[in-house]
């Protein structure tokens, strides 16, 4: 009886305002993948839906976690992920080649992906513990520097610039929102402005450097590295306002568009659905980010706030960098578009983020209903 009563109330408590748009976006993505596979459910489209259902359930489970549990788990999760990253690096070293995946037998795990929410959790936990007065002290910077530097460095070694940047972006946003002195960010910005050109020529791999050059002038090499950007822009531009129609995208179907089902899925979509399809995607992401920031604003306590805002920023980073890339506003970095690109790891990461935001949402609502406040 209790279970029968609990079920509707549990359903009623779900944040349907965000689950419904997300489901719509995933279904849309599935349709695009269906077309990209030449009108077949396999190998991408059906899998996409199945994964979403699985990860949505996972997100709902995460949303049930208590705040204390997450806080308690922050450090262990971080340490485990760091160890996994090292394991990947070690395996790659032994195997004689770069590697991002860890085969656990039943799943191909990509620890760098999981580190994106992981870094946000550990930093939110750190600044939560830090006495407010200490935010001006150097230790508020030094500890996170190590906490960020280790995974970011390991991921960079893989080498995976995109994921590394995503990890750093989430971390920096948490630090920014944690209230560290503004001048530190300004100083860091100036330092970066000096360091980036140097790093560009010292630390980056040739192919990464080439991507940047190509981004700056894609037409310089239309059949080489600029090919991706050029073909993507052709796909989006030729779609027009209403698109060429479902299943009629020549750029994707005739293989001119590289990676039409993963990184360039937005171009595949825009070719067939036009600007309207693109605006729909932007709109749903807008809804999700607004939801995330609203949850963060209304969240009870510093940990919850930083957690929700940091995770929102991570989702934002994914979407923004991917969209800027396919529209020729950013260099080609291998970052998929959440909810639309085919790929299990990235969807799992995003759905973990969504689940945690939903958890924060639940914590806030429970407090409003007369719960307690801790900090």
Partner 1 sequence: MLFKRNSKGARFEQRVSSGELRNRFDRRSFVLGSIQGGVGVLLAVRLAYLAVAENEKYNLASESNRVDLTLIPPRRGWILDRNNIPMASNRADFRVDLVPERVIDKERTLATLGEILQLTPAAVTDLRDKLEGTRGFRPVEVATGVNWEQFAALSVRLPDLPGVVPQRGFTRYYPTGPSVGHLLGYVGAVSAEEYEIEKNPLLITPGFKIGKDGVEKYFEQTLRGQPGARRAEVTASGKIVRDLEMREDVQGDPVKLTINAKLQDYAARRIGLESGSVVVMDLESGDLLAMASMPSFDPNSFSDGIGRVEWKMLSEDDHVPLRNKVLSGLYPPGSTVKPFVSLALLKAGIDPEESVFCGGGLRVGNRVFGCWNRRGHGTVNMAKGIYQSCDVYFYAMAQRVGMQPIADMARHLGLGFKYPLPVASQSYGTVPDPAWKLKKYDSEWQTYDTVNATIGQGYFLVNPLQQAVMASRIASGRRLQPRLLMTAKPRPAPHLDLPEEHLQIVRHAMWEVVNGAGTAGRAKLPLDGIELSGKTGTAQVVSLAYGKGGKGVPWKYRDHGHFICFAPYDKPKYACAVAIEHGAGSSSAYPVARDVMTYLFDPQKAMEVLHTYETEWGGTAQERLARKYQSYENVYGGGAPKPDSGAIEEAVSQSGIATAPRPVNVADAPRPAEGDAAAAAPPPAPQASASPATSPAVTPSPVASPNPGVNRAGPRR
Among positions 234, 334, 344, 366, the unique one binding partner 1 when judged by CB under 8 A: 234
| Residue whose CB is less far from partner 1, 73 or 234 | 234
241 binds partner 1 per the rule CB under 8 A: yes
313 binds partner 1 per the rule CB under 8 A: yes
Retrieve residue 300's tokens: 């009870």
| Residue whose CB is less far from partner 1, 81 or 257 | 257
224 binds partner 1 per the rule CB under 8 A: no
| Residue whose CB is less far from partner 1, 204 or 324 | 324
228 binds partner 1 per the rule CB under 8 A: no
Q: Among 8-16, 41-49, 177-185, 194-202, which window interacts with partner 1 (CB under 8 A)?
A: 177-185
293 binds partner 1 per the rule CB under 8 A: yes
* Whether the Cβ atoms of residue 220 and residue 214 lie closer than 8 Å to each other: yes
233 binds partner 1 per the rule CB under 8 A: yes
Cα 91 to Cα 103: distance, rounded to the nearest angstrom: 10
Output the smallest distance, CB 39 to partner 1, in A: 14
**CA of 52: how far to CAs of 22, 60, 114, in Å?**
10, 12, 17
50 binds partner 1 per the rule CB under 8 A: no
210 binds partner 1 per the rule CB under 8 A: no
Instruction: Kindly identify the residues of this chain, within the stretch 255-274, that bind partner 1 according to CB under 8 A.
Output: 255-256, 270-271, 274
- Phi, psi angles (nearest 5°) of residue 108: -90, 105
Among positions 278, 331, 338, 343, the unique one binding partner 1 when judged by CB under 8 A: 278
19 binds partner 1 per the rule CB under 8 A: no
Among positions 71, 302, 342, 362, the unique one binding partner 1 when judged by CB under 8 A: 302
Among positions 58, 87, 165, 320, the unique one binding partner 1 when judged by CB under 8 A: 320
Neighbouring-strand partners of residue 103: 108
Output the smallest distance, CB 105 to partner 1, in A: 37
Among positions 101, 176, 184, 246, the unique one binding partner 1 when judged by CB under 8 A: 176
23 binds partner 1 per the rule CB under 8 A: no
Q: Which residues of 200-232 are buried (b: 16+ CB within 10 A; e: fewer)?
A: eeeebeeebebbbebbeebeeeeeebbbbbbbb
309 binds partner 1 per the rule CB under 8 A: yes
215 binds partner 1 per the rule CB under 8 A: no
Instruction: Catalog residues that contact partner 1 under the rule CB under 8 A.
Output: 131-133, 135, 173, 176-179, 231, 233-241, 250-251, 254-256, 270-271, 274-275, 278-279, 282, 285-286, 289-290, 293, 296-297, 300, 302, 305-306, 309, 313, 316, 320, 323-324, 327, 329, 367, 373, 375
């Amino acid at each position: 009886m209790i279970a029968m009563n609990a079920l509707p109330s549990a359903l009623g408590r779900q944040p349907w305002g965000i689950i419904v748009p997300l489901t719509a976006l995933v279904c849309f993505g599935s349709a695009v993948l269906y077309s990209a596979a030449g009108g077949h459910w396999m190998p991408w489209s059906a899998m996409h839906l199945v994964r979403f259902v699985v990860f949505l359930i996972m997100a709902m489970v995460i949303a049930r976690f208590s705040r204390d549990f997450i806080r308690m788990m922050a450090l262990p999760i971080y340490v485990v992920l760091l160890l996994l990253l090292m394991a990947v690096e070690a395996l790659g070293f032994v195997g004689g080649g770069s590697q991002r995946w860890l085969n656990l037998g039943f799943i191909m795990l990509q620890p760098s992906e999981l580190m994106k929410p992981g870094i946000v959790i550990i930093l939110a936990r750190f600044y939560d513990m830090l006495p407010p007065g200490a935010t001006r002290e150097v230790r508020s910077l030094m500890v996170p520097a190590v906490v960020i530097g280790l995974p970011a460095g390991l991921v960079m070694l893989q080498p995976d610039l995109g994921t590394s940047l995503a990890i750093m972006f989430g971390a920096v946003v948490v630090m920014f929102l944690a209230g560290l002195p503004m001048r530190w960010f300004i100083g860091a910005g100036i330092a970066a402005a000096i360091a980036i050109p140097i790093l560009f020529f010292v630390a980056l791999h040739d192919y990464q450097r080439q991507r940047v050059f190509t981004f700056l002038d894609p037409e310089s090499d239309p059949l080489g590295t600029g090919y991706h950007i050029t073909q993507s822009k052709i796909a989006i531009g030729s779609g027009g306002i209403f698109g060429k129609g479902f299943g009629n995208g020549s750029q994707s179907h005739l293989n001119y568009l590289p990676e039409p089902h993963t990184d360039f899925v937005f171009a595949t979509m825009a070719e067939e659905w036009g600007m309207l399809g693109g605006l729909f995607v932007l709109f749903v992401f807008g809804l999700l980010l607004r939801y995330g920031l609203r949850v963060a604003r209304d969240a009870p306590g510093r940990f919850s706030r930083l957690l929700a805002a940091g995770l929102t920023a991570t989702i934002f980073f994914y979407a923004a960098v991917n969209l800027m890339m396919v529209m020729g506003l950013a260099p080609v970095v291998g970052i998929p578009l959440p909810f639309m690109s085919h790929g299990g790891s990235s969807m799992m990461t995003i759905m973990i983020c969504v689940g945690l935001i939903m958890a924060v949402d639940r914590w806030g609502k429970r407090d409003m209903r007369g719960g307690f406040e801790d900090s």
